[in-house]
Each structure stands twice: as structure tokens, then as C-alpha cells.
Amino acid sequence: MSEREHFVRRFGDIFEHSPWVAERAFDHAASSGLTAGNVHSALCNAFRAASPAERLAVLRAHPDLAGKLAVAGQLTVDSKSEQASAGLDRLSSEEHARFTELNAAYTKKFDFPFIIAVKGLTKEEILAAFEQRIDNSAEEFEAACAQVERIARLRLGSMLPGEDNA
């Protein structure tokens, strides 16, 4: 297996189901050293350089929070762990109904799921952010992209040595 193939295999799911981000980031990341900060920078640069349609596809690859995939046990390992850390796997029926309602309204409005880096947040904080961001307009695309990058940084921080993982 080539170094590029190994890199893509290792980091291809950092941006949810989007190995093309790692493929495009390889040259920069390989020349900078494999620290969390360097790999994150390379991945984010590749993501930002992508077309709006490609970035939208990355957003759409993310699961709904506490949505159908979570209920069916079909989240990626990272997503499952992240959602569980925030208590989204232990919602009351009323909380689950509220998340379901917000997921549907948000996706209808923006054409991609609500994305937030849930690590370190409570379900109440996530719900508050959800309720605030659903009122956004065009800026929500960039807000969601920024959250995808934050999720990537947190995932890399658990995989690689580097600077502060915040």
C-alpha cells in the first residue's frame, strides 16, 4: 500500500464519508508532518478549496442528531461515540420528538442536516444551538462547514499527537 493510500485509509472518514478530502490533502499533510494540527490544516484547506457542491455533499453525509440512523444503530463509530458523549442516545420521548421536529425543519430549510461538534456539550446546549441556528439564513452554510472542521479537529486530536485539541 502506498503512503497516499495509507493516509486516505487512515484519515478518509475524518470528514464524514468523504475520503476525497484526505486524497486532496495528502501532499500538503505528508510534507508537513503527521501531527493533529498539520493534518487538520491540510484537510481543511482541501475542504475549503472544494466546490460548493462538494462541500454540500460533505454536509449531507453527516447524520441527523439523534435521528433515524442513531435509532437504527447505523452511525459511524465516531458519530455514535460523539452523540453518546452528549447524551443524545439517552433522550426522553419528548426530547427525541423535539430533535426530530428540528431535524426535519432544519433539513427542509437548508437542504443538509444540522451539524454541531457535540463533544463537551450537553443535550440542552445542543438543543439551544439548534433552536438559535435554525433562524439563520445564507450564513448557515458557512456555520455548518465550520462545525465540520471542528469535528475533524476533535477526531484528529484523539488519533495524533499535536497541539491543544480545542
Cβ(37)–Cβ(164) below 8 Å: no
HEC readout, the chain:
CCHHHHHHHHHCCCCCCCHHHHHHHHHHHHHHCCCHHHHHHHHHHHHHHCCHHHHHHHHHHCCCCCCHHHHCCCCCHHHHHHHHHCCCCCCCHHHHHHHHHHHHHHHHHHCCCCCCCCCCCCHHHHHHHHHHHCCCCCHHHHHHHHHHHHHHHHHHHCCCCCCCCC
Distance (Å, rounded) from C-alpha 4 to C-alpha 76?
23
The verdict on pTM exceeding 0.95 is no
- Cell 438559535, residue located: 132
Give domain limits for the chain.
62-135
Distance (Å, rounded) from C-alpha 102 to C-alpha 104?
5
Question: Domain 62-135 is classified in which CATH homologous superfamily?
Answer: Oxo-4-hydroxy-4-carboxy-5-ureidoimidazoline decarboxylase (1.10.3330.10)
Does the active-site annotation cover 40? no
In tens, the pLDDT along 88-100 reads 888 999 999 999 9
Cell of residue 122, nine digits: 450537553
Cell of residue 85, nine digits: 458523549
pLDDT at residue 166, rounded to an integer: 42
The catalytic position among 17, 28, 62, 96 is 62
In tens, the pLDDT along 36-77 reads 999 999 999 999 999 999 999 999 999 888 776 565 566 778
